[in-house]
Each structure stands twice: as structure tokens, then as C-alpha cells.
Homo-oligomer: A and B are copies of this chain.
Amino acid sequence: MACSAVTGAEQVRGLIDGLDAEAMAAEMHATVRELYPIARSITGDGLRQSLRILQAIAPLSLHEIPTGTPVLDWVVPREWNLEAARLLGPDGEVVVDAASSNLHVLGYSVPFRGKVSLEELERHLHSLPDQPSLIPYRTSYYKEDWGFCLSHEQRAHLRPGEYDVQIDTRLADGSLTYGELVLPGESADEVLVSAHCCHPSLANDNLSGMVLAATLARLLRGAELRYTYRFVFVPGTIGSITWLALNEDRVERIVHGLVVACVGDAGRLTYKCSRRGNADIDRAVAHVLAHSGEDYEIRDFTPYGYDERQYCSPGFNLPVGSLTRTPHGEYPEYHTSGDTPDLVRADRLFDSLQRYLEVFEVLEGNLTYENLSPKGEPQLGKRGLYGSVGGRSHAVASQMALLWVLSLCDGSRPLLDVAERSRLRFPDVQRAASALEAAGLLRVVNGTGGGER
């Protein structure tokens, strides 16, 4: 077990070292652009079509959950599909048309055709006075309503008169779709990666996350890993609630998890801890970010945000955090027509991908070892692990890693503790542990111990 477990971390390291940065960055960004125009929602064909595009990256399976299925405190809603949505002005001119931007229609608008005065129309319009040139993204999933979203500039110029509303949507029994891919590992313990897929033409939130998750799945598919990796692509809130309801008996297998979103903008990486706050995933991400050489931020859990709200709800309390770049709501283009593929930078998307892999490297390698020669230091020199000339002022880093592993690995703490305490990089500590294990000075005590705390 020890051997293959070490192999897990080493295989992830191999994946990282083998990445062709430019090619992969370009490829990911191309998929973001491909997905961008599709009219997604929490149900419907836009969602299905998007998941099928992701199937070209990794072979996720699609699940269809019928309308009316009770899921925890919720019920799977009717399926919504947008045919067309246009607003014609007093002179018959086209005011807005969902064909030009699917943000123009309030998500889950009920079908409506009719003439309304400007006064009545105003009650169905959504705009952003503080960002007058941008179209907002708005929805009304759980209250029947129709509406249009438009720039405040355009709204300000609407003339009095009668407007012709042509909202052709279908809101009918159908199903909620989600995608899932499981990569079995040596252990039944799972690492969950979850991305929400319900946003229409919004690129950073969350086409970036969908593409990053699918690319991770593609990369990890070829490796022999310690953990089982489960990727889920769900509509926000209702999708994760549906998944949790259908998998209630096996969520306890999830020992680490990340919600992926907003991973392509130019901002720094930001990690929001799990509700537990000091889960292994929280510590692993903090370690990777601390050694990333880039600016970053770690935040405490809050019950607002993405699907970690559901995974971390007290009845599940899964060790699931969220690793984003600029968090939701904190970049000006958030949930507006400004969140285009241009906002997503290929190099940042790739940087995020690398960090996710580095986190998996830590999780895979975070075994608990026991020093088999714990009384005094073992003589490393005779085993070829130590320089022969003594007297120098400082030990080199690789020798410090050996000494730290021998000192701290007493069977009571996993390797990440050693990295944290020694302030060495996890891969260096992991390599030292491998060398000592090969020399017969160390053995694995607990192959999947990380998730139990």
C-alpha cells in the first residue's frame, strides 16, 4: 500500500511536470469560448448541451432526475427551455432580443405574450444603475414571473407607449440534468470536485470552473491514485441538493472536496475553508498557496457562496472548501454581460489548474509514517543519505527534510504536519519520506489516515 500510495503523489507530480502550459491553456480557453453562447439554466437543453461538450474532455455520464422528485427539503422543478424572447417597442422596433444575449431574459421566465404599458413593463425590467452599460443576470426560479434584463442606459431611453412582450419559454415537467465522473482509486475514500453549470453566458462564473474540473478529470484519468476522485457538474444549489439527496448513503466516503468556480480571472487565488475550518483539504490548500510564490488569500467559511453551502450544511458537514480566484460578487463584471471569455485569461486558468493538481499531490502523499529507528538519529551517512564532511554551518534543505521526517514521523501525524512544522515544501518532505522508506527507516502507518480527522 505504501508503494502505490507514494506513487499517487509522484504520479500527480509527474502530471504537473509534464504539462504543456501553452497548449493546455489555449485548449481550456477554447472550450470556454465554445460554451459561452449556450443558454444554460438549472434545467433544460442548454445545460445538457454544455455537459455534452465537456464529454469531449472527459467521459462524464449524464443523469436525468425527473421533475417532482423530492430532494431533501426541495423538489426538482419543472424543466425550463428558452425558445426566444423579444421585447418590441412602441414603434415595433426590437428593444432586446435573447438571441443577441441570453442574459436579456429573466431566468425561468414563464411564457408570456402580450402588450404592456411602459409603466407595467418597468415592473419586469432589471438593470444596474451603478453599472449602466452592463446587462445583469437575474433569475426567478421559485416564483413564477417573467422579465427582461437590460443595460440601464438602454432602459433610461425607453419611451412611454405600448410594448410587445414575446417570451417563448417552455416550463414543463421534464428533468434536471447533471454530469458525473468517478475515477476509482486504491481506496474507496473520495475526493469530490464540484462545479456549477447553470449560468448562461457568463464565462468566469462558471465556464472557467466547468472546464477546469473537466480538464482535471481528463488528466487524472491516466494515473493510479490512492483516492477515488468524483467529479460532479451540477446546476447550482438545486443540483448539489439533488446529488446529495441521491447519494446520501455514500457522502461519508467524501474525505476531501473542492468547489471549483471563478478560476480564470486575473485576481489572486482565494480559498474559502470548509465549515470544519481545519480539515485536511483546508490545510492542504493553505500549504500549496503559501508556497505558490504568488499573492493569495485564505478565508473562513461562511454560509453564503456556491455549492459548498450544501456540502457543508450541518447535516453533511463535508470537508469541502472552495478554491477560486476572485470570489463571487467581488469582481465588477460578476453576474453581468461583462463576464465574457475575454475576462478569462488562459494563463490564469492554467495557473489555477496547476494549483488544483498540487493540492491533489499533497492529499495523495499525506500519509502517516513511523520512524523505525526512533532512538537517536539513525546513521544516515552509512546509508548514503548524508554528506561525509562535517563541520559546516548549515545543513542543506534535502538533509533538513530527512531530519524533520525522522523527528516528527512517530506514527501520530501525517506528512503535511511535517511540512507545516518544518516550513518545507510538501514535495521535498514527501521525497525525503520516500528515501527513508526505501532505506528501511520509515514505514507507512495509515494509508488513508488524512480523512479521518
- Residues of A at under 8 Å CB distance from B? 71-74, 107, 126, 136-143, 145, 237, 240-241, 244-245, 248, 275, 302-304, 309-310, 312-317, 328-330, 334-335, 371, 373-379, 381-382, 388-395, 400, 403-404, 406-410, 422
Contacts and interface: CB of A to CB of B under 8 A. Distances in A.
B143 A407 contact: no
Given A313-B374, A314-B408, A335 B379 contact: no
A175 to B, nearest CB: 19
A138 B73 contact: no
Given A107-B391, A334-B393, A316 B376 contact: yes
B374 A142 contact: no
Nearest to A137: B391
Copies of chain A in the complex: 3
Nearest to A72: B376
A72 B375 contact: yes
Given A126-B389, A390-B138, A390-B140, A304 B403 contact: yes
Contact of A376 (B145, B241, B329, B394): B241
Given A73-B378, A304-B400, A391 B314 contact: no
A329 B394 CA distance: 7
10 contacts: A137-B391, A138-B390, A138-B392, A140-B389, A142-B388, A244-B375, A303-B400, A309-B377, A310-B377, A313-B377
A315 B407 CA distance: 9
Nearest to A136: B391
A425 to B, nearest CB: 16
Contact of A388 (B145, B303, B389): B145
A30 to B, nearest CB: 27
A143 B329 contact: no
- Residue among A317, A389, A390 facing the most chain B CB atoms (10 A cut-off): A390
Nearest to A375: B315
Nearest to A126: B389
Contacts of A379: 73-74, 142
